[in-house]
């Protein structure tokens, strides 16, 4: 994904954003939904982005549109399949820590500055997301469906 304002993004470059962020969700749900409904139990959890729930002035409009469409789809899936014991929820992530080899010192400095803007004082980690997924996949979350849960250290609230 590259940051670019929508008006500067040629139409021929829209496809990958929609293919990954909407059709990727559709394909994954289609692959598992029938089996879950037949067993009268299932948990569908998609990982999305806060860019799909709020407008941002950082050049991610087409990315956010794809994410938003996936979020909306999950709400419909939740309503259509709740009676079959299947829940469907989305985690909308905020800024996440990237521990990749080859990150420059300049990138680390920028990341540290960004982390200071998050009320929790740090960026999210895979562990943070994992805990939310464990709960949503549990029997205890049987009555939680159709929700988009912001996991963002308080950087955006609803």
Phi, psi of 53 (to 5 degrees): -120, -10
Residues 95-113: b if buried by 16+ CB within 10 A, e if exposed:
bbeeeeeeeeeeeeeeeee
Residues recognised as catalytic = 63
Tokens of 39: 């067993």
Q: How long a stretch of residues is the chain?
A: 158
Residues 57 and 6 sit within 8 Å (Cβ to Cβ):
no
């Amino acid at each position: 994904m590259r940051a670019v304002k929508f008006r500067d993004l040629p139409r021929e470059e829209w496809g990958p954003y929609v293919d990954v962020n909407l059709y990727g969700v559709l394909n994954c749900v289609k692959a598992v939904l029938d089996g879950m409904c037949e067993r009268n139990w299932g948990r569908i959890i998609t990982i999305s982005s806060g860019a799909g729930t709020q407008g941002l002035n950082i050049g991610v409009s087409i990315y956010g549109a794809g994410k938003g469409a996936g979020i909306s789809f999950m709400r419909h899936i939740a309503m259509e399949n709740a009676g079959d014991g299947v829940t469907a929820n989305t985690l909308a992530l905020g800024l996440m820590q990237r521990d990749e080899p080859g990150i420059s010192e300049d990138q680390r400095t920028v990341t540290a500055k960004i982390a200071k803007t998050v009320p929790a004082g740090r960026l999210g980690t895979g562990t943070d997301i994992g805990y939310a997924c464990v709960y949503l996949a549990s029997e205890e979350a049987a009555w939680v469906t159709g929700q988009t849960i912001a996991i963002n250290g308080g950087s955006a609230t609803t």
